[in-house]
Amino acid sequence: MKPEIDPFREPRNESGMLQCVFNGEKIPMILRHGDVRQAAKDWQTYSSDAPFRVPIPSEEDVRTMRQLPIETNPPEHAEYRALVEPFFRRAKDPDMIARVEALISGLLNEAISRDSLEIVNDFALPLQSRALTYLLNVPETEADIWIGWGIHVFRVSGGVKKGIALEEYLHAQFDRAEADPGEDFFSALTQAIYQGRGLTREEMMGFANLAFAGGRDTIIHTVSSVFAYLARNPAALEFLREDPGRITHASEEFFRVFMPLTHLGRVCPVETDVHGVTVAAGERISLCWASANRDETVFKAPEEIRLDRKPNPHLSFGFGTHLCLGASHARLLVRTLLHRCVEMIGSITELASEDRVEKEEGYQRILGFESLEVKVTGR
């Protein structure tokens, strides 16, 4: 199976840059693998100390606090990150791995029992939400609330910004944790010490906001895209079944190609020449992970999905200081899904689908699915 045509191929090969307008702001996008890696490491030139402006478009209208630790620079970044890393390392704990395996087995058994299943909302969203309760060490029943928010916690629904509902929920969780602390993520933040002091409520909210927004739709759409690939390429399941050791390489290839996050922003503190483009002080550039993952100088036949691709130095989890905190968690979910599919699934048939498409002035790319209906049969 070949994914959609790479919209960044021509500008990447010609200049390595693409100037694109987002909500009226012209942002130069860095496209080449090596250039993106170099910029991701150079935080002095390309700063993350930019509240609301690391995501593109900016998020001033959907949240009221700086996301932590992603919107900070060293050395503060490392100190902030250390406060929550123990929770994200839980993805490697045997108990959590066992819970994720049981969760995915149950979801697949439910899928097999039904005549059809809409993957995005009825499989990927519950998987992401329930697995997050394991990571944050909160009751699994909390996932029922999170599932009700839908695929993206910030999108407008019924005239109400869902970011407001998220913030109200987080404040309630911190109020509860301060009154009766436990062993969960929220309690840990209420008791954390940063530079000799406790965290402010705004700092706590910054951590929690990112935990809920950062890996939500990315995991959901990656999982949905994996299902579509297996449905459209029946031989893939058999290829992985012949040697389950191939699953690790296959999952990394899926992360490389099915990259729902196109890019992230950085701010230039001073006027900077960025590969021939002058960026004024205080203006932004983009680190385009999606383009870097298709760079022909790094990946042979990058348009092809090769389940045994190696090496595979994709940048889907970022690079350098800001390497994604949730990378181990995402890998656990996708690898476990593939292992369980190999063991439990005979075939997946696609019945209907609607692509989720990012349409910007300078490019258009498929990010996953708005909906994906399939029929799943057991072995």
| Cβ atoms of residues 372 and 118 within 8 Å | yes
pLDDT bin (cut points 50, 70, 90) of residue 162 is: low
pLDDT band at 158 (very low <50, low <70, confident <90, very high): low
Phi, psi torsion values for 269, nearest 5 degrees: -65, -30
Confidence at 152, pLDDT banded by 50, 70, 90: confident
Single pTM value for the model: 0.96
Note the pLDDT tens digit of each residue in 258-307: 999 999 999 999 999 999 999 999 999 999 999 999 999 999 999 999 99
Tell me the pLDDT tens digit for each residue of 55-95. Answer: 999 999 889 999 999 999 999 999 999 999 999 999 999 99
Please state, rounded to an integer, the average pLDDT across all residues of the chain: 95
pLDDT in tens, 92-110: 999 999 999 999 999 999 9
pLDDT of residue 2: 46
Kindly list the distances between the CA atom of residue 267 and the CA atoms of 32, 52, 122, 276, in Å, as whole numbers in the listed order. Answer: 19, 11, 38, 17
Q: Which helix (H) or strand (E) holds 293?
A: none
Q: How sure is the predictor about 151, in pLDDT bands with cuts at 50, 70 and 90?
A: confident
Domains of the chain: 9-378 (1.10.630.10)
Q: In the chain, at which residue ranges do the beta strands (DSSP E only) sit?
A: 17-22, 25-30, 117-118, 156-157, 160-161, 193-194, 197-198, 264-267, 272-274, 277-279, 284-287, 345-359, 364-378
Please give the pLDDT value at position 301: 97
Predicted confidence (pLDDT) per residue in 17-63, tens digit: 999 999 999 999 999 999 999 999 999 999 999 999 999 999 998 89
Name the residue with tokens 């935080």: 43
Digit-coded pLDDT (tens) for 306-323:
999 999 999 999 999 999
Beta bridge partners of 286: 29, 265
Q: What is the pLDDT of residue 229?
A: 98
Token pair for 97: 């791995």
pLDDT band at 1 (very low <50, low <70, confident <90, very high): very low
pLDDT tier for residue 154 given thresholds of 50, 70 and 90: confident
pLDDT at 150: 87
Q: Bigger pLDDT: 161 or 123?
A: 123
H helix runs in 21-75, sequence order: 33-41
Please compute the mean of the pLDDT values over residues 181-194 and round it to a whole number: 98
